[in-house]
Amino acid sequence: MKRSIVLAGIKHCGKSTLGALLARRYGVTFIDTDRELEERFRAESGRELATREIFREFGAEKFRKFEAAVIGALAKKAAEPRIVALGGGVPANRFVEPEALRSLGFQVYLAIQPELAYARVLRNGLPPFLAGAADPFAEFCRLNREREPFYLKYADLVWPVDREIPAPAAAGALAEKLEQEWNIL
């Protein structure tokens, strides 16, 4: 690979799944910024919490500042090409420096249909930012509409996710697009 690939999109659009498959295909490191955030939190606090728990315990603003620090640290690391899966709110995070985000690599927005993503969310239980909503699906759609301009702002490629297909097939199709039309290799 000539440069890193960054996957962005709303929760459960397939960033981590496709990211891991693409990393395996290209023999590069896979970084999930949510996992990086958990690791950084553990290193700084000595406590092991999932991103949901960190968000719940510290609130949105502190969480977003912590998330921005993770992105800043990743941007500063000189690295070989890698695959990076961004947390769903990273592109819209006002604390993230746009230059840091852009420097991570070629940006792919996984533009999933909200109904499809929400069905995936329900399989894993509602996250804190939806759990307290009177209508969690309406809140999920609102959040997606709010974040979409940011996903589009940074996107070098918009990849539609409009139906369920096996992850290996989806990763293969995305890889073909990246290789043939975007000369990623």
pLDDT single digits (tens) 109-134: 999 999 999 999 999 888 877 888 99
Tell me how far apart the 2 most distant CA atoms of the chain are, in Å. Answer: 47
Assessment of whether the complete model's pTM goes beyond 0.85: yes
pLDDT of residue 136: 94
Residue carrying the six token digits 């995070």: 93
Instruction: Give the tokens for residue 3.
Output: 């440069």
Instruction: Give the tokens for residue 24.
Output: 């395996």
- Residue range(s) defining the domain that contains residue 109: 5-182
Residue carrying the six token digits 């499809």: 116
What CATH number is given to the structural domain containing 89? 3.40.50.300
pLDDT of residue 78: 67
Which contiguous run of DSSP H or E holds residue 89? none
Those residues with Cβ within 8 angstroms of residue 54's Cβ, 6 or more apart along the chain or in another chain? 37, 38, 41, 63, 66
Q: List, for the chain, all residue ranges whose pLDDT scores fall below the cut of 50.
A: none
pLDDT of residue 164: 86
pLDDT of residue 143: 92
Instruction: Give the tokens for residue 130.
Output: 């939806």
pLDDT of residue 127: 81
pLDDT of residue 124: 83
Number of domains in the chain: 1
Residue carrying the six token digits 């023999």: 27
